[in-house]
Structure 1
Amino acid sequence: MSELLDSFSRETSYQYQVFAEENVFFRCPIVSSPNEKVQWFLHKSDGSFEKTSTGKDLQISEYRSLLWFSPAKGRHSGVYMCQVNNVFSKLLIHVQSKEDCVQYGPNLLYFTTDTSWSISCPSLGCKLWTTTSDVTWYKSENFSTVIKPSRPSLSIINNVIQLNYTYIQDAGNYTCDFDVSINSSKWTVRATTEVLVDVPERQQPPEILGPSNGTELKVELGKPFNLTCRLRFWYQRFFNPVIKWIIQYPASDHEVTYSGGQELCPDTKNYNGTECFYTITLNEVTENDLQAKFYCYAQSSIGNVTSLVVLSMKEIDIVFRTYILCASVLLLIIMLLGSGMVYFYRIEIVLLYRNFVTKDETIADGKDFDAFISYASMSAEFNMETFESYSDEYDDVKFATQMLPGVLEKKYNYKLCIRDRDILPGGAYVEDIATFMKRSRRAIVILSEKYITGPHVFELQAAITCSLEEQESLRVILIKLKPFKETECLPSIVKKALKALPMVVWKEDLVSKSSHAMKFWNKIRYYMPVKRLQKNDKL
């Protein structure tokens, strides 16, 4: 505090005169950089000093190295000290009533960028002093010079700043100083003018970017639908838009209004215009909505604009529907063809699956043969008169003793029990047949007229009986080698078996290798027990 008193007594004062109710600021004269730390003190009437930063006067504030008065009051007159490190400087500030200056100029100016403007020092027209010095102009709180090479269109003529073309960057605080002599003492009169620069307002009402007037929008009944109005408001200094959706229902003379404002506009400071979006949602489109009229309404201080929107039922796209129909039909055809192929080749598919996936059913099941072959034997007598009957009998025997083992045994690795080959003669015939059937997994019965009317039909009856006794361990496969007629003397169990048991029909001659014959053998294998093929065997 003693240093302040010493400096106060010996420091030369800078004397300023300002006018009340004006915003002015002062820079500490001994500051060389805006970032230097400055402390400001007020010399009180009792001789003490008070820091302005701890004072209760809300109109006095510190900003960097500046002392602000916002605004200056008569009570602010006095002596102020600023301190930078251990160096002090003294300012004498006198606040004069503005009533003493009837011709005080404006302290707030509003310019637009479309024309030229001028800035005059507000206090220069007071005429309170006989002589004044030229005006010195500063811009902003940094007290930077106004005249710059980068601003060739700005000049100072007769103490007035001339802006031949105005830019947005020209906005800011302009401080003017000029010296006067009061009681043979030099005083600096200071005033500040705030300049606001904006682009010129466009004298046009808002514009609806979409939907355009008379637009018909396609909707679906019962589904939600969003209605969005997109607008552009031209730049206005005081932006206060009014945006509405107005819905009129003609049937009931009912009107619904949804309103919005500036919150619908993301960028309100766009000089090229501000886009706004207002969306309303119909939770469920109804018949009343199809009859209603929807108005998008926008209003600014210049004018208003309206756009009409109506709703209509959405028609299904014919081309799209045709594509869907064709695709559905094609898919159905593919499914039918696939199903047909699977049905036609179902046996081959099962056989293929068995060969690679299913385990061998013939392992450790206690059976010696895969199938017992039952057929009509040849008669012992032969003459030319009975040649045709003999030929038929020969076909039965050839099929049973040559074709079946030639295919099932040699090609597919099955083991067959053929009566004339594997059962030794001389034993009890009926008991031997039953024993060998029980030792077999299948019983293949070759049906013909000779078989049905001959004595070997009892083998079919025995196979059926064994199948029932063995509880499906023996299954009967019927092969219709030649057409036959059921006789009345057939046992009832045989008649039922001919209708219920699977029957495979042979349609070829005994030397045929056609595709039909291949289908026949596949069917026989289908009913045979699952048995893995040898490595060299083929399906």
Structure 2
Amino acid sequence: MPPHLNTFIVALIIIGTYANAENCIDFGVKTPWLQSRHFAYDGYAVLLKCPLGITENLSCSLPVHRSCNLTWFLNGSTQITTEEHSRISMQGYSLTFFPAVPADSGTYTCEIRNSTYCSRLNVSLTVSPALEYKTCSPFSDVSVIDTPEIPCQAAKDFLTIDRQLQISWYKDCKPLQISEGNYVLQPHALFILRLTREDAGNYTCLVALRNEGRTYNSSSSTQLYIIADTQENKPPQIIYPVNATLEAAVGSKINISCKAFIGYVRGSSEVLQYWLVDNTFIEYYNFSQLEEVKIREENNTIETALIISSVTPNLYGIEFQCVVINALAKAIGFLYLKPPEPSLLAHLLVGLAIFFFCAVSLVLTYSYFKIDIVLCYRASCHVNKPSTDGKLYDAYVLYPKAENKSAPTKADFFALEILPHILEGKCGYKLFIFGRDEPAGSAAVEIVESTIRQSRRLIFILTPDGFMDEQATMTFEHHIGLYNALVTEMKVILIELEKLKDFATFPESIKHLRKKQGTITWTGDLAMKSQMSNSCFWKKVRYNMPPTTLNTSELLSLV
């Protein structure tokens, strides 16, 4: 449409905005070039466009104009009644006939109005018998062009109704040999690669489409005039992509730009650029998130972008083609998508994460199973290995002794019964317990001092009453033991017969040792002599004891 026509239409809309609703502006009188004529064959599908549709969006966007209504009239008076699925129906601003019959011939008026605005325009339709002209149109008002791109208006009209419509081309009423290689089919156009004077003539596209289960035909014609012969100069050339591979992550939005040199053909300035996906036009491809956008055409180059709003896995490996055509030749660039390769940094981060996870898991596992691991190691690596430290005893047992021999305490029972039963009887340790193992008539102080020096561990048994109560006293034995523990750094095992809450009555040396290494709390039943040697308590005691000399099977049975 000429630029001056757009300006004039806008002016008419603004003037018509303030016209009385009953005094419609007849654009056919003021602008007769807007009126159109349509020719069709009996039984063909027809689509009449209301030319006012190009102005309706502007006029109805004014604040005073809302809710515009479109009405069609036949021969100025009869209102066209349209219903869904009927032979004549409305599609937006268009009137469709499925099919048209000779009785439909006449002048159709499309009228757009609301409470403050009204405009109308006439469209002429002539329906002729189907066999009169067959596959070409003799009418004088067919489209006239002088470019190598021949449009198929019928395909453009019905593409929204049937995207799978079929197009057959005819030149001067004869089938066009598309396979000769000089033609490129577009979704709704025919492109001639090498335009010569012999290409002049009448081109008709015959469209077969389906609507509501039935097949219809429609057609449109174009008269091609050749102004000058073509002269070979430079063919088009793809700048990017020539044969490229692009990394794209799933879900990402990418913009692929195709840039090409358009070449030069004397007498022709037409150039065509478009994208194909898997040898299919964007309009026909079943992926709804593809969009083709022309960016620029300047300095003898043209650039068109293919926008993928969200990459999906099924696009990997598919061939994307950028096609550029001038009147001389065609050039094609290829592009493929592939998943992004993990970077070296990503590999490094993953490796560090795995290493950190394994290290933390190993530390946590060892912390949780440390005692069992150490005991298993001893059972495997210290079998019957004699000690070379010159010590005679594995542990010296210190416990609060009752002054009243007729009333033994819990400590007496644990130290003299339970402890030897497990450590000596089942684990193979050798203990020294004063009051049980000292030679008769020997000096107590010398025996205690020498025996402690000949022991590898000191076992202190702690009771809730500490060392000072009515039945127990802190003897010289404890003093010597604590001295060796603090001065010689002899390893000490502190066993609480019950969970102790108050250590106020205990010596500072005991408090120091407890704070330094902690205690092992007895949770068993003192009345039960046959204790489980592989219980958690005894595992902790054995963990703090030196390795024993039992054979492998006996040691492993205790783990």
Q: TM-score, normalised by structure 2?
A: 0.38
* Bigger CA radius of gyration: 1
